[in-house]
Structure 1
Amino acid sequence: MSNFDPNAILRGAQLTFVGAHRALQNPDLFTTHHYRQAAIAVCAGLAIRIILNVPIYGIRVLLWFLSMFMDLEGEGWDDAIIDGLDFISKSVLQIPFMLMMIMSSITPTLDNMFMDSLRWVDQTYIQKHKSDDPSQLRAMYHPTLAMYSTHGEREKKEKRTVMDGVMLFAMKYGRRAAISLATYGLTFVPGIGPLVLPAASFYTFNKAVGPVPATAVFAIGFVVPKRYFVQFLQTYFSSRSLMRQLLEPYFHRIRFTKEQKKTWFIDRAGVLFGFSVAFAVMVKIPLLGVLIYGIAEASTAYLITKITEPPPPPGSEKEFAHSEVRWKNKHLFLDLPMDRLDEFNAKLSRTEKLEAIPQVPRKSFT
């Protein structure tokens, strides 16, 4: 529960807005290159919308054809079919979200945006602390991470093609979509239907964040209507998937084992959920979703500087990854006031940090 407490979730939500504000202040995001990428993203969002609606339009045409031979004016099942398909595609299968994930995996644009934003975060940090003792400031993130290869040990093996990466992602998504669709289908089975979603949610939350949140969600599942409960669960799952995707530029450079990465995410679960849930909702906005995805990636650069230590130069990344599995300064960071986030210095101990933070009146943070 300590990893998923309300304070951690709230701090993650604060980092969403602070990180987005910091990212949008970066003048490099408004270059011709990024404008061109933004235009492509809008076109891609329109294409995603059209692709998503093709099956629904097809069924509408079929129903229109049937209406020539049947009286559907007084029937409601035709509208129920259309509404059900729309709900399954957007809320159960998360098709728009999946298509944007595939786009992000085949283009280096988001990786470049992450690194550009990380450089800006470092520059802003130096500017805000230009009058402080340089020996007391944290190390920079961008210059060191820029030394790392984005492929790591995989460079020694045959490089995968773009299509291989897309197919691998599609297979993973296909398994998840099949499980979601099967679970949703079981909710209509008499007798066991009402138990399916609460039981599935308890199993998932218990494994991810512990028994206390899992029990709370399990109880909510019996009160909230099924449609809204499905949307809540899928928002949680999509926020997790989005967060993992947004952190790929970092994990492509700093290599963790599967177990280390799992523990890394669990130890930061509350903050990561609070950070990603708002973006997970906003990326589903038609057309604008792909642009918000880019802002989310840029904001993640700010997040990294708060939940990880500055990385060492290449050569000792395995030892560094092992030391980063647990978030050593979690409680200190969660206890800091909102307007003092930039005074957080990962190099100092807890006592030293508290002494280093000047006791001055609070001011608005930007």
Structure 2
Amino acid sequence: MSNFDPNAIIRGAQLTLVGANRALQNPDLFTTSHYRQAAIAVCAGLAIRIILNVPIYGVKGLLWLISVFVDLDHETWDDTIVNGLGFISKQVLQVPFFLMMVMSSITPTLDNVFMDSIRWVDQTYVQKHKSDDPTHLRAMYYPTLKMYSTHGTIEKKEQRSFLDGVLLFAAKYGRKAAISLGIYLLTFVPKIGPFVLPAASFYTFNKAVGPVPAGVIFAGGLLLPKHYMVSFLQTYFSSRSLMSQLLQPYFDRIRFTKQQKKVWFVDRSGVLFGFSVAFAVMVKIPLLGVLIYGIAEASTAYLITKITEPPPPPGEDNGFIESEVRWKNKHLLLNLPLERLDEFNAKMTGANETAKQADRVSDMPGRKFA
């Protein structure tokens, strides 16, 4: 429960607002390249959305044909079918969210957004603390992260065709969608149906946040209508998936093992959920969702500087990754007043190294601070 306490969730939500505000001040976020990629993503997402909704359009067409011969004005079963299909598409199968994840998997644009934003965060930090003692400043993130190889991830994305990218991600998404649909269909089974969603929620949250909050959610699931529980569970799952995807540019460079990465996420689960849940809801907005996804990626650069220590150069980690698995400065961040977030950072460096890295960031041409 300590990893998922309300204070951690609230602080994560605060980081969402501060990070988005900081990201939107970055002039590099509004370049022609990013706009072009966003336009392509919007068009592709709209096309996929239409294709995936073909079954719903087909059912509506069939109902219209039936209405020619049968008076459906006084019937409700046809509306129930249409609304049910829409609910399954949007909430159970998470089709709009699936479209956003597909786009992020087949284009390197979001990695570029992350790196541009981490550079902007460094620049803004230096500017805000230019009158402070350099020995009290944190090290820079961008110059070091830029040195790390992404192990061919970006190159593969660039070489992958659109169709191959969609099929690859669809295979991963299909398993989760099948499980979600299976659980939802079990809720209609007599006698056991009312207990399916509460049991699934308890199993999920017991592993993530412990038995006490999981028990509360289980009890709520017995009282709340089914569609509320489905929406709640899917929002939780989509926020986790979104956060994992947003952090991928960082983990492409700082290579954790599977077990280390799992502990890393669990230790920061409350803050990560608070940060991602609003974005997870907004990326489902038709057409605008992909633009919000870009802002979420840019905001993640600010989040990284609050929940990790600045990485050392490649080959000089000296146990850095192992030391990063557990969040050592959690209580410092959670107890810090909101107006002092910019003062927070974990790791100090010497004056010479800090100044050197700051110069490497601020010497980039055409930079202005907001």
Give the TM-score normalised by structure 1. 0.90
Alignment correspondent of 1:223: 223
Alignment correspondent of 2:304: 304
2:189 counterpart of 1:189: yes
Q: Which runs of 5+ in 2 are unaligned?
A: 350-369
Per-residue CA shift, 1:222-259, capped at 9, x if unaligned? Answer: 11111111101100000000000000000111111111
Question: Secondary structure, in 3 states, of the residue corresponding to 1:252?
Answer: helix
> 1-side partners of 2:278 and 2:318: how far apart?
33
Letter in 2 for 1:281: V
Letter in 1 for 2:243: M
Alignment correspondent of 2:287: 287
Distance 1:283 1:121, change over 3 A: same
Alignment correspondent of 2:31: 31
Q: CA deviation at 1:318?
A: 7.8
> 2-side partners of 1:334 and 1:348: how far apart?
19
2:273 counterpart of 1:273: yes
Q: CA deviation at 1:7?
A: 0.3
> 2-side partners of 1:164 and 1:145: how far apart?
29
Per-residue CA shift, 1:270-309, capped at 9, x if unaligned? Answer: 0000000000000011111110000000000000000000
In terms of mean alpha carbon deviation, does 113-122 or 314-323 score higher? Answer: 314-323
Alignment correspondent of 1:177: 177
Q: Is the 8 A contact 2:49 2:99 kept in 1?
A: no
> 2-side partners of 1:68 and 1:10: how far apart?
54
1:204-223 superposed matches below 5 A: 204-223=204-223
> 2-side partners of 1:8 and 1:129: how far apart?
26
> 2-side partners of 1:318 and 1:232: how far apart?
42
Alignment correspondent of 1:141: 141
Alignment correspondent of 2:264: 264
Give the TM-score normalised by structure 2. 0.89
In terms of mean alpha carbon deviation, does 91-100 or 65-74 score higher? Answer: 65-74
Calculate percent identity across the aligned residue pairs.
79
Letter in 1 for 2:56: I
Q: CA deviation at 1:184?
A: 0.5
Q: Which runs of 5+ in 1 are unaligned?
A: 350-365
Alignment correspondent of 1:237: 237
Question: Where do 4+ consecutive residues of structure 1 move more than 4 Å?
Answer: 159-166
Alignment correspondent of 2:5: 5
Question: Secondary structure, in 3 states, of the residue corresponding to 1:208?
Answer: helix
Aligned-residue RMSD, C-alpha: 2.1
Question: Secondary structure, in 3 states, of the residue corresponding to 1:146?
Answer: helix
Letter in 1 for 2:39: A
1:1-366 superposed matches below 5 A: 1-151=1-151, 161=160, 166-317=166-317, 319-347=319-347
> 1-side partners of 2:215 and 2:21: how far apart?
36
Question: Secondary structure, in 3 states, of the residue corresponding to 1:222?
Answer: helix
Q: CA deviation at 1:166?
A: 4.2
Distance 1:273 1:168, change over 3 A: same
> 1-side partners of 2:318 and 2:170: how far apart?
30
> 2-side partners of 1:281 and 1:117: how far apart?
22
> 2-side partners of 1:194 and 1:52: how far apart?
29
Q: CA deviation at 1:164?
A: 5.7
Q: CA deviation at 1:321?
A: 1.5
